[in-house]
């Protein structure tokens, strides 16, 4: 017996096992729980497994096709047949003769006439007669298909009954969509007491008032129960009103005589991101009238207008004020956790004509023109603000700039977490005057970590399903004499840091973290 294991993704594991008779059995696991099992030689079992994997939401069609050995279009066809004609029809083997597609309307009558005149002749003989009369090659398989297509089957149903039903189902869906697309489901306002109460309260309010014709048309459509593709985006206004979104645009100049103001452009970009548009170019795919209602304008600007306005905004250097203003509003409304801030840099490729410094792009694994985008986020990964700098700028000045910006935003002594790129004893001593920091112990090797006694690990920590032991001690850290001489100092700088050591209970591997914070517990 042979067994093969294949990891599809982080959730799905497929085990293929061959028995003594060389029969292949496939078992599918989701998070190590068996969810499907089938014999690969049994077509019916493969079909059932494919339908079950998709309908239960375990796999998409592409992954299911890979597991069950079908094409992706076949999976879609199985789902349609099951939903339309039932599971019994799905398991039927209807792989008989195909339609005689090769023979056109002027060829087929001759073959049908020969079949009626020579009913006792074989398909090969009919094909030979038809070839002589039509002066073309007629194959016996084509004659057989025409002969069978005119006969009823055992259940008095045509051979292509299933295909016809599927075709009729598509036609019915098209007609239903054309006639009922303007309708939407209604909530049960009579039986549900909560809905009924809300309806009565809303009836006491004054009707909605529109400021322009476009909004009036939208209100009428919604009152009639018609769908609006962007009606759900109006919910974002609750969040925007809560953070006083319009106050952000006070720094932008008002463009007299322009159809679109700078605030309209930025609002359009915000709502386009909210509905999932991946680029400005995607705006050409939406209805500008419907989308304009969300931003409170008659029509949303097209992609060319947005690019032109953004170019004008960039020349005015308003991005810094907008970023700072938005960060201040998020902190004031407690939308950001101000306990700890993470700072990390990401390479942003540049494809323009200007000559700028190159950086290492990890995705393509080559050096190319671009900038570094530094994102400052909280414990939950929610971004507060960002800083864009050239590649020749070191990481440590960015960290110091971030600390100054956080203090300016009202955080007295922020805690910054960064990776090994910010390591530096002199930098630590300078940063210690205004902020706390947490970073890896860069030059602490495994031997030094092993010297810490097991009795020092007095705390425990559980994270991402793993268990750790935590120890701590104060340690004097000094830079090398070569680094001091290189920077023009006779003596190396020393600083006392708090070393926090984390030990994985399962593997015994230890990691070291340096911090100047003496208040928070080690774990």
Distance (Å, whole) CA 102 – CA 95: 18
**Torsions phi, psi of 389, nearest 5?**
-135, 165
Residue 462 burial (10 A CB sphere; 0-12, 13-18, 19+):
exposed
Q: Which tokens is 331 given?
A: 């902190």
| Angle ∠(282,284,286) on CA atoms, nearest 5 | 90
Quote the pLDDT of residue 463: 85
Specify the DSSP class assigned to residue 351: -
Q: Which residues pair with 468 in a beta bridge?
A: 461, 504
Weakly modelled stretches of the chain, pLDDT under 70: 1, 93-106, 149-162, 177-189, 214, 223-227
Distances (CA, A) of 495 to 9, 262, 401, 478: 46, 50, 21, 6
Give the DSSP H/E element, type plus range, for residue 521: none
Contact 125, 118 (CB under 8 A): yes
Specify the DSSP class assigned to residue 282: G
CA nearest 8: which of 66, 54, 61, 48? Answer: 66
DSSP letters spanning 210-240: -SSHHHHHHHHHHHTT---TTGGGGGHHHHH
| Angle ∠(339,340,342) on CA atoms, nearest 5 | 155
Quote the pLDDT of residue 411: 92
Q: Which tokens is 175 given?
A: 């007609």
Distance (Å, whole) CA 382 – CA 376: 8
Long-range Cβ contacts of 482-491 (<8 Å, 24+ apart): 483/425, 487/426
Give the DSSP H/E element, type plus range, for residue 82: helix 72-85
Q: Which tokens is 256 given?
A: 């007299």
Contact 230, 283 (CB under 8 A): no
**Torsions phi, psi of 151, nearest 5?**
-110, 145
CA nearest 420: which of 504, 510, 344, 518? Answer: 344
Contact 248, 326 (CB under 8 A): yes
Quote the pLDDT of residue 158: 46
> Global pTM?
0.58
* Element counts in the chain: helices (H) and strands (E): 19, 14
Distance (Å, whole) CA 143 – CA 130: 9
| Rg for the chain, CA atoms, rounded | 35
Distance (Å, whole) CA 142 – CA 127: 8
Specify the DSSP class assigned to residue 491: S
CA dihedral (481, 484, 489, 492) positive or negative: negative
Q: Which tokens is 121 given?
A: 């002749």
- Helix, strand, or coil here: 361? strand
Task: Indicate the average pLDDT of the chain.
Answer: 83
Quote the pLDDT of residue 382: 92
pLDDT digits (tens, 9 = 90+) for 252-311: 888 887 888 888 888 899 899 888 888 888 888 888 888 888 888 888 898 888 998 888
């Amino acid at each position: 017996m042979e067994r093969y294991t294949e990891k599809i993704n982080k959730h799905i594991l497929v085990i293929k096992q061959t028995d003594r008779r060389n029969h292949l059995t496939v078992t599918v696991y989701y998070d190590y729980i068996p969810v499907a099992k089938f014999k690969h030689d049994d077509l019916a079992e493969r079909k059932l497994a494919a339908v079950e994997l998709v309908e239960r939401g375990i796999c998409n069609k592409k992954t299911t096709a890979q597991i069950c050995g079908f094409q992706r279009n076949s999976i879609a066809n199985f789902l349609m047949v099951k939903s339309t004609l039932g599971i019994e029809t799905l398991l039927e083997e209807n792989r008989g003769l195909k339609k005689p597609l090769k023979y056109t309307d002027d060829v087929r009558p001759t073959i049908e006439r020969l079949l009626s005149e020579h009913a006792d002749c074989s398909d090969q003989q009919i094909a030979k007669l038809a070839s002589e009369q039509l002066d073309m090659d007629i194959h016996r398989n084509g004659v057989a298909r025409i002969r069978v297509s005119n006969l009823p089957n055992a259940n008095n149903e045509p051979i292509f009954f299933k295909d016809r039903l599927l075709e009729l189902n598509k036609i019915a869906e098209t007609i239903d969509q054309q006639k009922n697309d303007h309708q939407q489901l209604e909530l049960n306002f009579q039986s549900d007491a909560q809905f009924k109460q809300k309806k009565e309260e809303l009836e006491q309010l004054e009707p909605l008032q529109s400021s322009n014709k476009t909004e009036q048309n939208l209100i009428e459509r919604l009152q009639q129960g018609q769908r609006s593709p962007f009606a759900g985006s109006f919910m974002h206004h609750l969040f925007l009103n809560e953070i006083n979104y319009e106050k952000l645009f006070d720094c932008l100049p008002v463009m007299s005589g322009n159809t679109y103001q700078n605030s309209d452009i930025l609002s359009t970009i915000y709502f386009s991101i909210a509905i999932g548009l991946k680029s400005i170019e995607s705006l050409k795919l939406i209805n500008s009238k419907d989308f304009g209602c969300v931003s409170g304008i008659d029509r949303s600007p097209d992609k060319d207008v947005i690019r032109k306005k953004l170019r004008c905004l960039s020349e005015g250097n308003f991005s810094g004020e907008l970023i700072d203003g938005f960060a201040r509003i998020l902190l004031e409304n407690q939308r950001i956790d101000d306990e700890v801030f993470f700072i990390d840099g990401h390479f942003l490729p540049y494809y323009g004509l200007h000559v700028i410094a190159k950086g290492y792009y990890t995705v393509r694994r080559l050096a190319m023109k671009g900038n570094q985008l530094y994102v400052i986020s909280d414990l939950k990964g929610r971004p507060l603000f960002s800083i864009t700098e050239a590649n020749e700028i070191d990481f440590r000045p960015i960290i110091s700039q971030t600390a100054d910006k956080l203090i300016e935003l009202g955080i007295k002594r922020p805690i910054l977490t960064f990776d090994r790129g910010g390591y530096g004893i002199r930098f630590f001593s300078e940063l210690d005057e205004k902020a706390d920091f947490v970073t890896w112990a860069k030059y602490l090797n495994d031997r030094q970590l092993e010297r810490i006694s097991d009795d020092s690990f007095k705390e425990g920590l559980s994270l991402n399903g793993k268990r750790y032991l935590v120890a701590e001690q104060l340690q004097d850290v000094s830079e090398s004499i070569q680094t001091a001489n290189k920077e023009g100092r006779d003596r190396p700088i020393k600083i006392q840091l708090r070393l926090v050591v984390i030990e994985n209970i399962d593997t015994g591997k230890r990691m070291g973290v340096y911090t100047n914070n003496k208040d928070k517990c080690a774990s």
